Structure 1
């Protein structure tokens, strides 16, 4: 186990790529947000491991199958690789909302899977997403919630978040602005290594 893992967890739709009410069902429908892939590459080059945690209820609703989801992710990873970036692992919830699973955000199940996979506590690990669901899942898992205004909450006033958001939610214009924030903070006070859970 790597005792010095620096981890960042990201949502996908509205954080890395444009969200769609009709779901992203094919590589052709996947469009990166401006600067998002460059931001991931910057994080990688600064020593951060990037992991995705994404609700994909279109699977449970039968709107696309695993082959289509894998094709979207292969397309995303290839686009990222051309910029020298990578995503270490992708955790997704395949269930529809009515299935009552424990992994669909705002439940913390996906983040707990990441915790188990890497054998470390997520306390203090940044989680970046574009929705209230993301922020609540982050809070439940002990992560630091970072809201980006590039998706579902684009019109939120960063100075006056609605009261349902966790009080420690940090707000950024987009993923690049988050990367700027995190890297500046890491330079001023290096992030301590994550320790494995006993």
Structure 2
């Protein structure tokens, strides 16, 4: 019997593209981490559904607007498509840390939206949340996803935080992709 391929949820900044403490504010500043686009395409071509789950408080802070964010996502989607892959969906939280929304990670509202879209629960269907921060791992864990930390972005700092649950660690999205393709081939 074939193994069920998990849904893969990816944080954006620090996992797919280079992060910045000054925020990624334009299409020109949106720079993919080497290997990340090919990794998404490879996972997609192997039959995995890929969703992006990203906090984008730069909108609430007035650093960029939703049209600029959409242009960044269009660039990401185009690059993945040029490599033969696709992204099934993008969930983003435009709120700031003090807005008390239900979508901003570590809360799990964006992941719950994906579950509703797919009409399933990650408590019952396998899913992996790949991120570079504790809040990524916490949001995924809260919905039953297997948490994975990559050491790009803020990942190296995150690995030394006190985290009271198990998670896997990979150097980057490419290393995670290689291991995942081997595991589910």
Alpha-carbon distance in 1 for matches of 2:40, 2:75: 15
Q: How far apart in 1 are the matches of 2:22 and 2:183? A: 37
After TM superposition, give the deviation of residue 166 of structure 1 in Å.
4.5
Gaps of at least 5 residues in structure 1 are 188-198
1:162 aligned partner: 161
Checking the alignment, whether the CA contact within 8 Å between 2:134 and 2:158 is kept in structure 1 is: no
Q: Report if aligned partners of 2:9, 2:53 keep a CA contact under 8 Å in 1.
A: yes
Assess if the C-alpha contact under 8 Å between 1:145 and 1:169 holds in 2. Answer: yes
Residue matched to 1:194: none
Q: Please, which runs of 5 or more residues in structure 2 have no aligned partner?
A: none
Check whether the contact 1:139–1:166 (CA below 8 A) recurs between aligned residues: no
Tell me if the contact between 2:5 and 2:184 (Cα under 8 Å) persists in the aligned partners: no
The 2-side partners of 1:170 and 1:102 are apart by 26
TM-superposition CA deviations, 1:124-166 (whole Å, max 9, x none):
3111011001011111111000000011122566xxx532x24
Name the SS of the counterpart of 1:52 in structure 2: strand
Question: Superposed, which structure 2 residues align to 1:1-198 within 5 Å?
Answer: 6-123=6-123, 124-155=126-157, 161-163=160-162, 165-187=163-185
Q: What's the TM-score, normalizing by structure 2?
A: 0.92
Matched residue SS, 1:29: coil
Q: Please say which of residues 43-52 and 76-85 is displaced more in the overlay.
A: 76-85
Q: Helix, strand or coil: the match of 2:18? A: coil
1:54 alignment partner, SS class: strand
Say if 1:178 and 1:99 are closer, same or farther in 2 by CA, change over 3 A.
same
Number of aligned positions between the proteins: 180
Which aligned segments of 4 or more residues in structure 1 are displaced greater than 6 angstroms?
none
Q: How many angstroms does 1:5 deviate by?
A: 7.2
